[in-house]
Amino acid sequence: MGWKKRSYWFKGGIVLGILDIVVILIGYVISSSESLGWFLMFTQIPFNALAIALRLPIYQNYQVIIGGLISWFVIGATIGWIYGKIKNKNVGRE
């Protein structure tokens, strides 16, 4: 199945997931300390908010990376799903 035939929610999730990976890689190159730095923490806001709400520990770097990737995929999938609903609604009117 080609990229054009994928659903909008899947495309949105993949795009934001890849964007998160790119930001993480750039952050590792820029950051000179052992921590991920403030640059990466901006991309992890959805995961950190969820972790704080559920009282989960967010100490390990790999947990933050995986959690951020999952949360940005879900955000992208939600945006893509809404976009698909709006676009399909407008296609029926034409």
CB atoms within 10 A of CB 43: 23
Q: Model confidence at 1, in pLDDT bands (50, 70, 90)?
A: low
- One-letter amino acid identity for 13? G
The percent of the chain in helix, strand and coil, each rounded to the nearest 5, is: 80, 0, 20
Q: Is the pTM of this model over 0.75?
A: no
> 51: Cβ–Cβ under 8 A, 6 or more apart, which residues?
57, 58, 67
Q: Which two tokens stand for residue 68?
A: 């951020």
Look at residues 48, 74, 73, 43 and name the one whose alpha carbon lies nearest to residue 63. Answer: 48
Quick check: 61 pLDDT over 90?
Answer: no
Q: Could you report the per-residue pLDDT of 42-59, keeping only the tens digit for each? A: 666 676 677 777 776 655
HSE (side-chain half, CA atoms, 13 Å) at 2: 2
State residue 81's pLDDT score.
Answer: 92
Residue keyed to tokens 């799903």: 81
